[in-house]
């Protein structure tokens, strides 16, 4: 199968390396300087150093060349890049099925990725989301992982998951696109909170409480948007939440660690070197939750820390000082 991976960041590169073990893969970047480095080094020295490209992985800077005759196109850009990439793909004349691996809500419109795709892709093009607990370095290294491919078209979800599945990257199919996307997006907000918790050295009890209540918050929000409750106990919900909130490779958790250390957001973003989707997603989720009447106290204090200058210790005090209530999802 011919696979076009659009986006040569760490996750796009990792998926390209993983899929190239069984398929013919083209990795596309729009950055001419990066293209030259990738072609010269046969490795992504900027975002994923130490993981050489397999022979079946080629690199392209022309979107038409990258997507030509592709059996599937996988868009692996930050959420902000999804819409322009889909527009460019459509303009290039591609009619291949499209998957995306973005984990966030579009900042300006507050739309999840599948609604962006619906606005930009012809109805005839099969589509879906690839999401779940997965750090790029581990996938590129061939370490075992399991993720979800969700599509409203069950036949497409099943067939594409089977085609991309491998002994190292197990892919489960689902028809709950909303649930899969919301789990992947909102867990990044919870990871920022978890980083604050760990940065303040509040202990394992506090982290366990945060993850549990964070999952309840994600579930409430996702169900209100039309997701299925059981999805949030799966890979794209609980699985991704656990990984991103506890793993040292998590960018969003690192944001929280630096907030706990008193670093200003501008400095954190400048020094991170990668996109932390939770920062932009937090505000979009908070606004949607207010309109839907969904209680999201963790998201609220994360937004206050990110955008209103609330100190980390005061944020924890605000959460712990809430009125006692009956435990419920």
Active-site amino acid positions: 187
**Under a CB-based contact definition with an 8 Å cutoff, are residues 180 and 236 in contact?**
yes
């Amino acid at each position: 199968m011919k696979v076009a991976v659009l986006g040569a960041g760490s996750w796009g590169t990792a998926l390209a390396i993983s899929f190239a073990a069984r398929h013919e893969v083209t990795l596309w970047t729009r950055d001419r300087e990066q293209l030259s480095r990738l072609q010269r080094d046969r490795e992504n020295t900027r975002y994923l150093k130490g993981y050489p490209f397999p022979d079946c992985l080629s690199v392209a800077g022309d979107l038409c060349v990258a997507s030509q005759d592709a059996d599937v196109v996988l868009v692996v850009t930050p959420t902000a890049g999804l819409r322009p990439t889909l527009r460019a793909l459509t303009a290039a004349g591609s009619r291949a099925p499209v998957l995306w691996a973005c984990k966030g809500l579009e900042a300006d419109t507050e739309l999840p990725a599948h609604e962006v795709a619906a606005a930009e892709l012809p109805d005839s093009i099969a589509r879906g989301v690839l999401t779940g607990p997965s750090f790029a370095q581990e996938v590129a290294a061939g370490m075992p992982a399991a993720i979800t491919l969700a599509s409203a078209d069950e036949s497409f979800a099943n067939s594409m998951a089977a085609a991309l599945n491998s002994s190292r990257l197990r892919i489960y199919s689902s028809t709950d696109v909303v649930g899969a996307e919301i789990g992947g997006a909102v867990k990044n907000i919870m990871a920022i909170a978890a980083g604050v918790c760990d940065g303040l050295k509040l202990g394992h009890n506090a982290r366990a409480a945060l993850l549990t209540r964070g999952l309840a918050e994600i579930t409430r929000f996702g169900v209100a948007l039309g997701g299925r409750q059981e999805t949030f106990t799966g890979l794209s919900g609980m699985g991704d939440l656990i990984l991103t909130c506890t793993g040292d490779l998590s960018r969003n958790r690192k944001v929280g660690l630096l907030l706990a250390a008193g670093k200003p957001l501008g400095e954190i973003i400048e020094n991170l070197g990668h996109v932390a989707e939770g920062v932009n997603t937090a505000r979009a989720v908070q606004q949607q939750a207010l309109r839907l009447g969904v209680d999201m106290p963790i998201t609220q204090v994360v937004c206050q820390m990110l955008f209103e200058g609330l100190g980390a210790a005061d944020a924890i005090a605000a959460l712990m000082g809430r009125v006692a209530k009956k435990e419920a999802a």
